[in-house]
Chain A
């Protein structure tokens, strides 16, 4: 957008960048990790799709800067970019074996060479498809920029739909099968699924049909969507409200039937998502509402879990000197939450006077201290040390004299969802109350908030306590879900995960917490091959979000610009401002 004329140097620069990223992806291992996850069965793996997506995006960017919306130039740019970038990757493939790069870069392996040469014996020949397809993709990207906006949107929507559903084929197949099962006809799903999907990912036919369908759908939406929106906007207030309530009820119903639709494995993931969402609501109060960056949040999760463990465990290991309390889940739950709240306040008191990054580092210190203590021999007699605590009670629900044990993830799901919903409800009520206003005022300007009569001590401690309470609740449920806990489950990464999810969702935004939980906890669980790269992607996501979209995917309404650059009010009261 800066220069609208064709500038060879700038195109070359973008090309080199694109090639550099391809090499990065290869060396970090992303190009080999997803070889088995086919988006289109036996045709396109997610790994290779990464190459194509990279080139598509950079083709688009290069065209944006240089093409003046001319077809010829755009194609030229695409060709240059495609050839340069894939050539760079090819060089890596060619030199990796002769130079024995594997000694240093573990991923410069024969697997990489095989994957990028499509298992061709002759490496040079085998690289040809890579160059051709990469170039085609960057040309497509460059041309996409030149397309009229409507067609651009349609094309992008279709591509994204094919990629996304193809990647998550397992999930989609399961859901379809379960929906049919719900209506009593499990068999009927089979032929359709067989037609659309291969053993993994789309079948070629399925991909084409999906592409066309998504394109048509997107076209219709772009053509007619605004009319629909206008019509909804034109409805009377009460009707709009009914519509909103209807949507809520629908979502609620979906939430209730979700485990049935998703099946065991996916419900398991949902439980994890819900536990993190629950923690997210808590941290959202501390960080989002009150503006106190807490990096030791995992401490309260651990305290909740350990309290639950110590109180309900029936098989404390030999090395502990504890009596078996053997309480049931419900008796221990309030104590676990109470302990977390208590520690939230105890750890909150010393840091009342701290702000900003110092607060972050001190809380990080607290989190680490608690983890190391849990791991040490020092506290082993009390909480099991490295061996952890085993035999934690599962929650039960009394039912006509007997009791139902919530043991499957399907049953636990309801427990966690109720807990998360409760946390969301409490957050929502508090946000819109006097307490919420005090938190926000404090976040905006602590000195002025105090001068307006807000008791900072009470206000901060309330935030710490509520946040810790939610985290403790999550920890207690977590312990009951796993029935055994170990210190290494409570490391700094948990704090960072939770922080990431509220930032990605939108700091201070309640729906944002759910969105963040689904995206950051759900997705990586679905793509199991991802687990190795989860933290890599978290890191990249945190940086990108802060640079590009600090308010998150679902920003809280009034604080949209809070985190944007250039807004800072310098709270430096110089003594002589008079």
Chain B
């Protein structure tokens, strides 16, 4: 299987702190790849390096055969990487529909001149965009909630809306940052099912960050474990579960229970 994204020896420092230390991963196309690790292991920073929010000091990031390190965030999104956030960051005073329409931004071509004169091309594009947004709303199970302000949606729906917004750009690689944070076991199970559904249905490669191992064991094709910024293990879920280094990393943080195979 060809890899869609490969990070080679990525290092990111903040002052004296090495947040991501010499991390390399290869993410196969159409897989669900998870990066796990205890809190503070550098997972989100690693994400931010991929999306261009941070530029890593060292290393290379190749997406679909092109280096993307140092390219502005919006350009990286246009190339096909989109993301969600650990602490939901929706445009809370915009409606669900508007949120998704913003997500469609990379695919829209109309200009402000077209908007002022309301040209047929603009009207057509806007109508198509709206239809697409409604389709996505249905896909994530938020049918009929399009006119609600994002901040008025219940928690679970906000998570889904954030995924919907990310999917709206028709990404090839979807980065999910702890999509099950703050959810109860039922909701978590539902969400993991939904993530698999996204991959199967849309053929999107998914890169998942989790600190809860139970979530990733079931759905991941491959897992990397970060601890203190360094990759300490990589492999299929089973290998990870039995890896003594991983157990130690988690036990070290007092999360022994989470290592228990779910």
- A-side residues, CB < 8 A to B, are 426, 429-430, 432-438, 440-441, 444-445, 447-456, 462, 466, 558-559, 561-562, 567, 569, 573, 575-578
List the A side residues contacting B209 at CB < 8 Å: 578
Is the pair B86, A577 in contact by a Cβ cutoff of 8 Å? yes
Is the pair B91, A448 in contact by a Cβ cutoff of 8 Å? yes
Is the pair A451, B53 in contact by a Cβ cutoff of 8 Å? yes
CA distance A130 to B103 in the complex (A): 65
Is the pair B17, A575 in contact by a Cβ cutoff of 8 Å? yes
Q: Which residue of A lies closest to B149 (CB)?
A: A558
Is the pair A452, B53 in contact by a Cβ cutoff of 8 Å? no
Which of B110-118, B134-142, B196-204 binds A?
B110-118
Is the pair A449, B115 in contact by a Cβ cutoff of 8 Å? no
CA distance A203 to B242 in the complex (A): 95
List the A side residues contacting B19 at CB < 8 Å: 575-576
Is the pair B115, A429 in contact by a Cβ cutoff of 8 Å? yes
CA distance A429 to B117 in the complex (A): 8
Q: Of B39, B44, B82, B105, which contacts A438 at CB under 8 A? A: B105
CB of B125, distance to nearest CB on chain A (Å): 8
Is the pair A445, B91 in contact by a Cβ cutoff of 8 Å? yes
CA distance A445 to B45 in the complex (A): 19
Is the pair B39, A441 in contact by a Cβ cutoff of 8 Å? no
Q: Of B17, B74, B82, B93, which contacts A454 at CB under 8 A? A: B74
- With A575-B17, A578-B45 as given contacts, are A559 and B93 in contact (CB-CB < 8 Å)? yes
CA distance A558 to B73 in the complex (A): 28
B80-110 near A? 1/0 per residue, CB < 8 Å: 0011011101011111001001110110101
List the A side residues contacting B95 at CB < 8 Å: 558
Is the pair B94, A453 in contact by a Cβ cutoff of 8 Å? no
- With A429-B116, A575-B45 as given contacts, are A562 and B93 in contact (CB-CB < 8 Å)? yes
CA distance A562 to B150 in the complex (A): 12
CB of A211, distance to nearest CB on chain B (Å): 43
Asked whether any CB of chain A lies closer than 8 Å to the CB of B77, the reply is yes
Is the pair A462, B112 in contact by a Cβ cutoff of 8 Å? yes
Q: Of B77, B103, B115, which contacts A433 at CB under 8 A? A: B115
CB of A447, distance to nearest CB on chain B (Å): 7
Asked whether any CB of chain A lies closer than 8 Å to the CB of B69, the reply is no
Is the pair A573, B42 in contact by a Cβ cutoff of 8 Å? no
Is the pair B169, A453 in contact by a Cβ cutoff of 8 Å? yes
CA distance A455 to B71 in the complex (A): 12
Q: Of B39, B91, B103, which contacts A444 at CB under 8 A? A: B91
List the B side residues contacting A432 at CB < 8 Å: 115
CA distance A184 to B212 in the complex (A): 84
Is the pair A573, B53 in contact by a Cβ cutoff of 8 Å? yes
List the B side residues contacting A569 at CB < 8 Å: 89, 92
List the B side residues contacting A466 at CB < 8 Å: 112
CA distance A576 to B14 in the complex (A): 10
List the A side residues contacting B231 at CB < 8 Å: none
Is the pair B40, A453 in contact by a Cβ cutoff of 8 Å? no
Is the pair B106, A453 in contact by a Cβ cutoff of 8 Å? yes
B149-187 near A? 1/0 per residue, CB < 8 Å: 101000000000000010001000000000000000000
A-B contact pairs, 20 of them (CB 8 A): A429-B115, A433-B126, A434-B105, A434-B110, A434-B126, A437-B98, A437-B102, A440-B93, A440-B98, A444-B91, A450-B72, A451-B73, A451-B82, A452-B74, A453-B82, A456-B74, A573-B48, A578-B39, A578-B45, A578-B211
- With A440-B91, A444-B93, A451-B83 as given contacts, are A575 and B14 in contact (CB-CB < 8 Å)? yes
Which of B106, B110, B112 is the most central at the interface, judged by chain A CB atoms within 10 Å of its CB? B112
List the B side residues contacting A444 at CB < 8 Å: 91-94
Q: Of A445, A447, A453, A561, which contacts B105 at CB under 8 A? A: A453
Q: Which residue of A lies closest to B40 (CB)?
A: A576
Is the pair B91, A578 in contact by a Cβ cutoff of 8 Å? no
CA distance A29 to B125 in the complex (A): 60
List the A side residues contacting B46 at CB < 8 Å: 578
Asked whether any CB of chain A lies closer than 8 Å to the CB of B32, the reply is no
Asked whether any CB of chain A lies closer than 8 Å to the CB of B41, the reply is yes
User: Which residues of B in the span 38-61 have a Cβ within 8 Å of any Cβ on A?
Assistant: 39-48, 51, 53
CB of B233, distance to nearest CB on chain A (Å): 17
Is the pair B94, A441 in contact by a Cβ cutoff of 8 Å? yes
CB of B158, distance to nearest CB on chain A (Å): 12
CA distance A153 to B14 in the complex (A): 62
List the A side residues contacting B105 at CB < 8 Å: 434, 437-438, 452-454
List the A side residues contacting B73 at CB < 8 Å: 450-451
- With A448-B91, A452-B77, A452-B82 as given contacts, are A430 and B101 in contact (CB-CB < 8 Å)? no
Q: Given A440-B94, A451-B53, A558-B98, 14 other A-B contacts at CB below 8 A? A: A433-B110, A434-B108, A444-B93, A445-B91, A447-B53, A450-B74, A452-B82, A452-B103, A453-B82, A575-B17, A576-B42, A577-B86, A578-B37, A578-B46
Asked whether any CB of chain A lies closer than 8 Å to the CB of B122, the reply is yes
Is the pair B42, A578 in contact by a Cβ cutoff of 8 Å? yes
Is the pair B86, A558 in contact by a Cβ cutoff of 8 Å? no
CA distance A448 to B86 in the complex (A): 12
Q: Which residue of A lies closest to B54 (CB)?
A: A575
CA distance A449 to B98 in the complex (A): 12
CA distance A131 to B212 in the complex (A): 74
